[in-house]
Amino acid sequence: MKITRIALLSLLALAAWSTGFDLADAQAVCEGLTGNGRCNSNNSISGTLPTTNNDATPFNDYATVEAVFGPNAGVCAATVGVTVKNLGPLGAPVTPLPNTVVTSKLGPLGLPNGKVFVALRAVDLVGNRGGCSAPEMAFTNDNVAPGVITNVNVGP
């Protein structure tokens, strides 16, 4: 069976962020057998940082990106069953330039296996958290290896 590399490109719509973080270009790039939207810890998630805050002032105090995830849609509105993971600054400057893209492997998120919903949000240097990207990204996280092949035979 030949494994074919596929890309799952899910664009996240613009969201209102208190720090102005709009993930208009956020995406997860995944591999799978038949385009079934499966990702694993080696795949990545990325998004474009904003250059302004919600009040149109320059966004010049970027600190980090947080990933918010859980097993059900609406992770940012949920109060239970969600996890928030700080991804760090991801190599971006405190004052992001236009079209600055940040990327993180999915592995550090510690996603559970199965269907997951993930949203991203920006945090500034004083701890103000922006709203979550919308719509959140949904895919099947698969870090479980297949079982052992049995009944192997060599012959005519």
Instruction: Enter the pTM of the model.
Output: 0.74
Q: For residue range 101-135, what is the model confidence (pLDDT) as tens digits?
A: 888 999 989 999 998 989 888 899 999 988 788 77
Q: Does the pLDDT at position 15 exceed 50?
A: no
Q: Which domains does the chain have, with CATH numbers?
A: 27-141 (2.60.40)
Query: For 49-67, what is the mean pLDDT?
Result: 91
Q: What is the pLDDT of residue 79?
A: 84
Asked if residues 68 and 133 have their Cβ atoms less than 8 Å apart, the reply is: no
CA atoms of 85 and 75, how far apart (whole Å): 13
Give the pLDDT band (50/70/90) at residue 1.
very low
Average pLDDT, the chain: 78
Of 111, 67, 63, 61, nearest to 86 by C-alpha is 67
More confident residue, 24 or 131: 131
